[in-house]
Chains A and B, each alone.
Chain A
C-alpha cells in the first residue's frame, strides 16, 4: 500500500464549471476526511466518513459541495458551479478507528484547484 492517493494533483477550471476530485485511502482505513487549505493557512475540516456513512459536514461545505464514499473505499468530492473563492488545496486523509490512533491521520498530497 502506497498511502493515500489523490487525483488529479492539479486542476484548472473556469468559473461556473463542475469539478470532481478522487481520494483513495489506505485500504484498511475506515475513516476518510476531506480538508481545504488556502495559501498560508491551516487545513480546514470539510467532512468525514466512517465506512460509507458521512458522519459530519462542516458549515463551510455549501450546497455546491457534495462528497460520497459509496462502497466505503474511495471517496469523491464534487464542487458544482465553481467560484474563484473555491481555489485552494483539497486534502484527503484516512485513519483507522478503534485502533491505536496516536498517529493521527495519513494525508494525501492534495489536489490543487485553481478557478479562473
Chain B
C-alpha cells in the first residue's frame, strides 16, 4: 500500500528565511509519480510540480526547488527567501501508474507554513 508522510504539521518562519518541507513516501511500485500541491486559505489545491520515479534530477523554479532522492524515498520542497504569500498548507502526494482508471493520488497530511512579516 502507498503511504505519504509529512512529519512537519506546522512550520513558522520569518519573511526572507529559507524553509524546507519534508516528504517521505512508501510504495512497492517501480513506476510512480510524486507531486506537490499548495492550498492557500481560499481552499483550492494549486499544482506545483510532478516528478516521475525515473527522473531524480533536482528542479528549480524561481524561489522553489525540489530534491528527489530515491535512496531515502524522499521528495523535499524548499522555498528560498520566503514571502508572506507563501503562507499555505502544502501537500505532497504519490500516485501509481494505472491503466484506464485515472491517476490515484495518495496525499500526505499536509504541512501548514506560516510566513510572518
Partners in one complex: no
Residues of chain A at the chain B interface (Cβ within 8 Å): none
Interface residues of B (CB under 8 A from A): none
